[in-house]
Amino acid sequence: MKPRSIIVATLAITAIAIGTWTSYRIMMPPPSPRTATVLPAAGELPDFSLLDHDGNSIGPGIFAGQWDLVFFGFTHCPDICPLTLQLLASARQQLAEAGQQPLPRIVLVSVDPERDTPDIMGQYVRYFGTETLGITGELDEIRKLTKGLGIYFEKAGSDPDDYSVDHSAVVLLIDPLGRLHALFGAPHDASNYVHDLPIIMQAAKFPVAEAPLVASGIEIARPTPESKMAAGYLALRNNSQDSITITDVTSPNYASVEMHETIIEDGVSRMRPVDAITIPPGRVFYFKPGGKHLMLTRPVGQSASVTLEFLAGDEVALAVSVPAGD
């Protein structure tokens, strides 16, 4: 066979092999989860009114906008609860190191609200990462959530000061639309989450929803630690398709929060109250030094953080918490 013929034959065989391999790859089924059970149809969450670990009132909307791994347990649990949360934190870290985006948030819902106050929940969940969320509240409201999700829990023991709580050990995966998407049964292994979560997220192809109103660059400044007044500066971005009008700002950490504007008149600096601010769609409003800002007066108690609630009429448009300034 002539050299030219040999080259042509070789190229033809190579092309056939590549085509065969490509066809094989196309016909291969997509990877499937190893242990997770993906629901045929995502389930809506029941309505509830609870508290996050900063003491803010929350409802089903707390689960919208990101993927959440939700575990039901309690802070006095000596074994399965800390082990599961540590396992989930380890899996999240491994996913981050592998470049996985988005990363799921870890959520602990207390089944022992009698002892698990928001403050205790906050101290507890911080052991497992700053992105971990703690939820507690009234027992009846917790039962609304657990009943709607098929979660079992019951107090075990008659001693009011020394008891345990039996509870389901399943981990639920909530999708960015705030719906029950999949679940992981016990026993848990971090490698299963590292394997299954990227597959589930990729198959779902849910966009991570942006919250309508987002705060950034928050600073609470006080002239001196003993001062009874503080100024608040931040940026508010309106991600919605409609204008958002902020009519009031409140904080459980201060007796009063007012929107003010600094005006220079004839060389004199004056502060004037601002009744409302309107943020057009897609725009950013700045509370900044020398302009419109927040005036916080008379601190209430001692707290490591400051919570601000921005109201649009009677509705809370945004609630944020930041470390208290020096």
- In the chain, what are the domain boundaries? 37-204, 213-323
Q: What is the pLDDT of residue 209?
A: 57
Q: Is the pLDDT of residue 149 over 50?
A: yes
Q: Is the pLDDT of residue 81 over 90?
A: yes
The residue assigned the tokens 């098929």 is 150
Top-confidence residue, 95 or 306: 95
CATH topology of domain 37-204: Glutaredoxin (3.40.30)
Least confident of 47-61, 79-93, 212-226, 239-253: 212-226
Model confidence, pTM: 0.60
When pLDDT is cut at 50, 70 and 90, the band that residue 27 belongs to is low
The residue assigned the tokens 């050990």 is 169
The residue assigned the tokens 């703690």 is 134
Q: What is the pLDDT of residue 28?
A: 59
Contacts of 251 (CB under 8 A, 6+ apart): 257, 296, 306, 307, 308, 309
DSSP 8-state assignment for residue 304: S
Percent of the chain with pLDDT over 90: 53
Q: What is the pLDDT of residue 6?
A: 54
Rounded CA-CA distance 257/292 in Å is 13
Digit-coded pLDDT (tens) for 84-115: 999 999 999 999 999 998 899 999 999 999 99
Contacts of 211 (CB under 8 A, 6+ apart): 65, 239, 318
Rounded CA-CA distance 242/136 in Å is 33
CATH topology of domain 213-323: Immunoglobulin-like (2.60.40)
